[in-house]
Structure 1
């Protein structure tokens, strides 16, 4: 499936990118209330919504992926800004092919 995407991207001249949330498993997080302890909002409460668990393309945790990047066992990411990090889909497809992996879904 990734190879078909890669071929169509080459033909159309567009490049696809993956974010960490696309690659890593994201654990479930229940809703909660955060109470500010200092600053301009001291004493105020903020509701932080729940987050459903999701299964990533690679099927491992974010921590594991960053460890692999640090060790050179996973493709290097591209920093688009201070808060946005992405990987080229072609790099991920090549890495998965070298590991003889299929996309987890």
Structure 2
């Protein structure tokens, strides 16, 4: 009976990691990057605790975790690209306003 105990603990661990992954995904979808980072820090040591051998049920959950991570990563990359574009646009507008102000002060 003691043989089944580690598998049960691993299943619970995988379920806990899945729950954190879902929370990370939700935080990323609402652009709460600080919360997503905090949850990722909490999740990381749990991921490292996964045993090499898993039950079929746990493997299915791990694949779901991987899929969610993939979606979250793509969303984060898109958000980063949008932020870079917005930043560059804002800097261009600021530079244009500074040039206008410089010319206006010369008159």
TM beyond 0.5:
no
Normalising by the smaller structure, the TM-score range is: under 0.3
- Which structure's residues are more often strand, by fraction? 1
Quick check: which has more Rg, 1 or 2? Answer: 2
